[in-house]
Amino acid sequence: MAIHPTALVDPGAELGEGVEVGPFSIIESGVTIGPDCTIGPNCVIRSGVTMGSGNRLDVGVVLGSLPQDAKFKGEPSFVRIGNNNLIREYVTVHRATGEGEATTVGDENFLMAYTHLGHNVEVGSKCSLASYAGLSGHCIVHDRAIIGGLSGLHQYVTIGRMCMIGGHSRVTRDIPPFTTAQDNEIHGINVIGLQRNGVSREDQAAVREAFRMIYRSDLNTSDAIAELRARGPMPEVVREFVEFIEQVNAGGRGRQQA
């Protein structure tokens, strides 16, 4: 370990092999940091934070502060971060509300400068959140989604897998997987994202057809989905897309397997 002499690391913190801690950073008791993480200068990592290996924190990152939630009564809660995340300047990630609950970040995410993750947020893996994106409490962002800069997500919003949300968006509704959106308006299928993530041409065509049926045909949503199901077994990407929309229309949240 390489800990700068001006850093304050509580003896009750657990740091893995190869961890570097920059000047004036503070790591409280009850923190666990996996091997080969780099903690930049002026970072604060509060009690209840657990990180995996290979994470890189730039200057001024604050992890594990108390939730900005009137319901929070001091109960023990957590922040859990996976492996190989790049967390840039002044990112903030708050603890969860609810005893034993956690705000979670998966693996290989890119959280750009000034990103904020509120209490009980769940971010999957390989997501990119551009500068000043703000996620309110209980938001879910599934794998490989992109959130544009200066965007704000209302509490309890779910962003589906491989979505792309345009910059300066105000998102107050769930956005289905594989789509592009600006604010709450769903524009189309995220073709570039599907290509970059190795989705086959056949599956791309299938999900484009499902999008056309649901959003661009004369059928209402229920009838469009019934028509898609009547055509026989759906490819996995279409099933994921359709089931997300069905869950939202039934009054639930668009939770899918991350």
> What is the pTM assigned to this prediction?
0.96
Averaged over 40-44, what is the pLDDT?
98
Domain 2-190 identical in fold to domain 193-249? no
**Which helix (H) or strand (E) is 171 found in, with range?**
strand 170-171
Averaged over 150-164, what is the pLDDT?
98
Q: Which residues contact 230 (CB under 8 A, 6 or more apart)?
A: none
pLDDT at 177 over 70: yes
Q: What's the pLDDT at 255?
A: 59
Which option is the CATH number for 193-249: 1.50.10.10, 3.40.720.10, 3.30.70.980, 1.20.1180.10? 1.20.1180.10
pLDDT band (50, 70, 90) for residue 256: low
Average model confidence (pLDDT) across the chain: 96
Pick from 181, 186, 179: nearest CA to 162:
179
DSSP state of 149: T
Topology classification of domain 2-190? UDP N-Acetylglucosamine Acyltransferase; domain 1 (2.160.10)
What residue segments make up the domains of the chain, in order of their start? 2-190, 193-249
Q: pLDDT by residue (tens digit) across 115-149?
A: 999 999 999 999 999 999 999 999 999 999 999 99
Averaged over 95-106, what is the pLDDT?
98
Averaged over 192-206, what is the pLDDT?
97
Q: pLDDT by residue (tens digit) across 64-93?
A: 999 999 999 999 999 999 999 999 999 999
Q: What's the pLDDT at 251?
A: 78
What distances in angstroms separate CA 131 from CA 23, 30, 159, one per listed residue? 24, 29, 17
pLDDT band (50, 70, 90) for residue 29: very high
